[in-house]
Structure 1
Amino acid sequence: MAKEKIVLAYSGGLDTSVILKWLKETYDAEIIAFTADIGQKDELDGLEEKALATGASKIYIDDLRAEFAKDFINPMFQAAALYEGQYLLGTSIARPLIAKRMVEIARAEGATAIAHGATGKGNDQVRFELTAAALAPEISVIAPWRLEEFREQFPGRAEMIAYAEKHNIPVTASASKPYSTDRNLLHISFESGMLEDPWFDPSATSNKDMFVLSVDPEDAPDQAEYIELEFAAGDCVAINGTQLSPLEVMETLNELGGKHGIGRVDMVENRFVGMKSRGVYETPGGTILFTAHRKMESLTMDRDVMHLRDSLISKYASLVYNGFWFAPERLAIQALVSESQKNVSGTVRLKLYKGNVIGAGVKSPVSLYNPDIATMEADPTKAYDQGDATGFIRLNALRLKVGSGVEQNAKK
């Protein structure tokens, strides 16, 4: 009989390398490794050789960067999603794409299960598995870190390193690692290790080497740089007059933002599983794009449409953070968001300077801003009669006056 097939989300690091070997031994199964290229750069070097040497029957290394930018990052930025007021959801938004491709491979290979190396304390386990449930409910999920026999065998990193050495698993790891990282096209995250102390200062001079995508704002150029972003229906389509694909937009903005020390965030966030965790993030290009998009909306989006969309930001961001990208409620909100973006078109000018993204002008052929109406001088259009405000205020004040009168009478 043919062996059972399991598709493993594989990064080539210590955890997933050990898990690959452990799955093969424990389940006597054929392990198909899968790595999504979503912008990890040199972290992908040598992965095929590592996976095959560790026991994988084959490995898929799929370039998903263009799909990531177009179908995941852009829709999320149209929704102005920001988790707990700070986090641009760089890791969160990548997981549904990875899981989507995993189940596609599983079906193509006839695999009965997928597996991941996410721990039982984090958010990623939920994101992977909710995506699988939504897209391929017939495929089972193996989460080794939630299995007692796995945790008993590997209570810590020392045991994993020893296991790797015993089985000649080609990984580079040490018994002490100061922090963990996760990188993609949108950002890089840092957590655990020394960062578990919320009083630890990663911005201190002695810790500058930790950051990857951006220079320290103090070391950024002393000369500000102006850039122009052109939008069409809510998406950035050109930078400084050059037409770019969504992927090229992110790559260009990452380079510009990193050069000027833009996009660093240090926060204590609330995980879906209930605990607080400390994360440090670099999102240089995303920070520029987020700022530019909001400025473009300010000129072109109807007030009540904007306020309605903004009322859903917290819900939308939580859906992404918690792994509900393919849930019907996220899709429903996205339909409203897409409708709201039809006229978000024009050009935004920004000034980049030492960690700051500063608005420097906005224009649009479909601008809703009319200087003749907004002017403090005489209105040549006669579109607004200041005297009309008297009745407007009187009507809005009516309930306040009635309520106040009731309270005053009650005190007598």
Structure 2
Amino acid sequence: MGRATKVVLAYSGGVDTSVCIPYLKQEWGVEEVITLAADLGQGDELDPIRQKALDSGASVSLVRDVTQEFVTEYAFPAIQANALYENRYPLSTALARPLIARLLVEAAEEYGADAVAHGCTGKGNDQVRFDVSIAALNPQLKVLAPAREWGMSREETIAYGERFGIPAPVKKKSPYSIDRNLLGRSIEAGPLEDPWVEPLEEIYVLTKPVSATPDEPGYVEISFEHGIPVSLDGQALAPVELVTRLGEIAGLHGYGRIDMLENRLVGIKSREIYEVPALLTLIHAHREVESLTLTADVTHYKRGIEETYAQLVYNGLWYSPLKAALDGFVQKTQERVSGTVRLKFFKGNLSIVGRKSAFSLYDEDMATYGSGDQFDHKAAEGFIYVWGLPTRVWSQKNRS
């Protein structure tokens, strides 16, 4: 682990990260703790969090609003890559970790800290994402993880904090572990640890239950330029506003819930619930623009790239050489991925009902079965003969 004198701590305002402040000073001999809270569009009021850090013993309490960067530099590239971990989870939480890691490294360099710290436990994915990202950005920095080593139960952690003036939670703590940012929410633990248990409606915030959704479908048109969403229903919107507004529309119709058994990097399975109305919508819409504008071979090859890309992000390798190489491939494919997709939301479902692009490779004269058909049907026989020749030869040689 190594010891440090000045540490920048990733801070959320919760019990664990608050207790990390006196713990680092009292148990590990850290002289100065600087906290850093990232505003990722989670909707929390961060001024009280800033003050709580100071009250808990931090010498400096930083709050960084990086919502815009989060969308444009992390979410949008993942959308261009159609990144879905295990073909389901759009990485809403995982995408935030490399950004927070970058902020920690920048703050450490700004304040002359010799270490950074986080409140992750030893059983989750986030510890890997933080540690590896920090090492990639500044391998000289020590990374401290008190909660991974202190061995205290939650009750013991609260009691430890009270010794140093950190108040215990005033209300009964929810049994769930929840992480939220502009891209969505992740919910785990409590009753959800039993994969047979149906999630209670109370855990959802961003999506309406089907019983409370409108009885008429809702339509929206999303336009993309070079694989980046730029407008809703013809109105150009800034990135944060576009994600926010689309999330409200999709959530109103109950779309964006995921309930999955997920394979964590540390080797265990975890039951995870996600609410990702805007992000999931944008990935499906983006794929439709690609279906019009990419050739078949690029589309098929890119599917494998997308799976690898999602695994890299999930596994904390955002800043790895392979991820950088895949970024180059993805960006090249997006040069003509511009167009508009029309979607229909209804009772928790999303349907793609229209798509158009100035770069469309779809030729109606070739595809039609009507009188305007321009396809040369006579050419099919020769094509089939050549295409099937290896199979025909193999069959002839191997007939018993």
Alignment TM-score, normalising by the size of structure 1: 0.93
Which residue, 181, 188, 191 being the options, matches 1:194? 191
Matched, 1:343 2:336: yes
Contact 2:7 2:30 in 1 (8 A): no
Distance 2:177 2:228 in 1: 32
Contact 1:157 1:175 in 2 (8 A): no
Matches within 5 A, 1:5-404: 5-26=6-27, 27-42=29-44, 44=46, 46-147=48-149, 150-151=150-151, 154=152, 156-172=153-169, 177-202=174-199, 207-379=200-372, 382=374, 384-404=375-395
Distance 1:216 1:164 in 2: 39
Report how far residue 407 of structure 1 moved. Answer: 3.8
Q: Which amino acid is 1:350 matched to?
A: L
Contact 1:306 1:340 in 2 (8 A): no
Task: From the superposition, tell whether residues 164 and 396 of structure 1 become closer, same or farther in structure 2 (CA, over 3 Å).
Answer: same
SS at match of 1:85: coil
Q: Which amino acid is 1:69 matched to?
A: V
Contact 2:261 2:270 in 1 (8 A): yes
Report how far residue 176 of structure 1 moved. Answer: 5.8
Q: What per-residue deviation string (whole Å, max 9, x for no partner) do you get for residues 341-370 of structure 1? A: 111111111111111111121111111111
Contact 1:50 1:170 in 2 (8 A): no
Contact 1:17 1:171 in 2 (8 A): no
Contact 1:186 1:285 in 2 (8 A): yes
Distance 1:195 1:43 in 2: 28
Distance 1:170 1:45 in 2: 17
Report how far residue 20 of structure 1 moved. Answer: 1.5
Distance 1:170 1:253 in 2: 38
Q: What per-residue deviation string (whole Å, max 9, x for no partner) do you get for residues 38-69 of structure 1? A: 01112635101110000000111101100000
Q: What per-residue deviation string (whole Å, max 9, x for no partner) do you get for residues 147-175 of structure 1? A: 2xx11xx1x11111212223220352667
Question: What is the aligned-residue identity percentage?
Answer: 47
Q: Which amino acid is 2:297 matched to?
A: D
Unaligned runs of 5+ in 1: none
Contact 2:6 2:30 in 1 (8 A): no
Distance 1:69 1:341 in 2: 17
Q: What per-residue deviation string (whole Å, max 9, x for no partner) do you get for residues 233-291 of structure 1? A: 10110111211122111111111111111100000010111111110000011121112
Q: Which amino acid is 1:216 matched to?
A: P
Distance 1:404 1:272 in 2: 45
Q: What per-residue deviation string (whole Å, max 9, x for no partner) do you get for residues 17-37 of structure 1? A: 111221121223200000110
Report how far residue 98 of structure 1 moved. Answer: 0.5
Report how far residue 340 of structure 1 moved. Answer: 0.5
Q: Count residues in correspondence.
A: 396
Distance 1:250 1:75 in 2: 14
